[in-house]
Structure 1
Amino acid sequence: MNMKETIRAGLLAILLLAPAVAIVQAQQPGPSKERAKPSAKITEEQAKKIALERIPGEVTDVAIEKKRGKNVYVIEIQSPEQGEKDVFVDVETGKIVGTD
């Protein structure tokens, strides 16, 4: 290969790879509830148990969000008596900081 062909091949490779790199970067999670998990001292299972003691039912979803200035597990519970309820469990202490 001469110098021009080498440069063309390099530029072509860059042009073909750039969209793939952009897609991978776009799929990286941002500063969201998934990123908060490493600081959790209470496990997801512990948080579910704590929430179910407050509102009996079936857990339908669990997420970590910032509520009232704290990272909390948001435990979504489908309750036969109360319908759909959210229980907020502090990820560090395991205390319930609210319901919705």
Structure 2
Amino acid sequence: MKRTIHWGLLTSLLLAPAMTVAAQAQQPGPSKERAPSAAKITEEQAKKIALERIPGEVTDVVIEKKRGKNVYVIEIQSPEQGEKDVFVDIQTGKIVGTD
């Protein structure tokens, strides 16, 4: 009986880390492709809005929190201004800043 209990405990201890890793692997991580479910502005719309402010080529898009709001950070390579970031609010589509 003790042997069965010991094997059960040993098995649990050995499998617990593997089960934790497997559970973490199944959870989706942050993605620059996926907007939060509350987003009213799509990534494509945000790119268009940003390019109206600073013409150029979009080189990257990520979602970050800036000035207390979730924003798309649209990185643009502009011939006139070099590399610029435009922050587009994911709720309203308004530009909340540039960098």
16, 19, 23: which one pairs with 2:17? 19
Match of 2:8 in 1: 10
TM-score, L = length of structure 2 = 0.77
- 1:36 deviates by 6.7
- 1:61 deviates by 1.5
Q: Which stretch shifts more, 4-13 or 43-52?
A: 4-13
Kept in 1, the 8 Å contact 2:73–2:88? The answer is yes
Match of 1:80 in 2: 79
- One-letter identity of the residue aligned with 1:43: T
| Cα distance in 2 for residues equivalent to 1:84 and 1:25 | 39
- 1:56 deviates by 1.5
Q: 1:77 to 1:96 in 2, by over 3 A?
A: same
- 1:78 deviates by 1.5
Q: Which stretch shifts more, 53-62 or 5-14?
A: 5-14
Higher relative helix content: 1
Match of 2:45 in 1: 46
Unaligned runs of 5+ in 1: none
Kept in 1, the 8 Å contact 2:35–2:42? The answer is no
Match of 2:61 in 1: 62
Aligned residues: 97
Unaligned runs of 5+ in 2: none
Kept in 2, the 8 Å contact 1:59–1:75? The answer is yes
| Cα distance in 2 for residues equivalent to 1:57 and 1:9 | 65
Is the partner of 2:37 in helix, strand or coil?
A: helix
Q: Aligned Cα RMSD in Å?
A: 2.7
Q: Which stretch shifts more, 46-55 or 10-19?
A: 10-19
- One-letter identity of the residue aligned with 1:18: A
| Cα distance in 2 for residues equivalent to 1:21 and 1:77 | 42
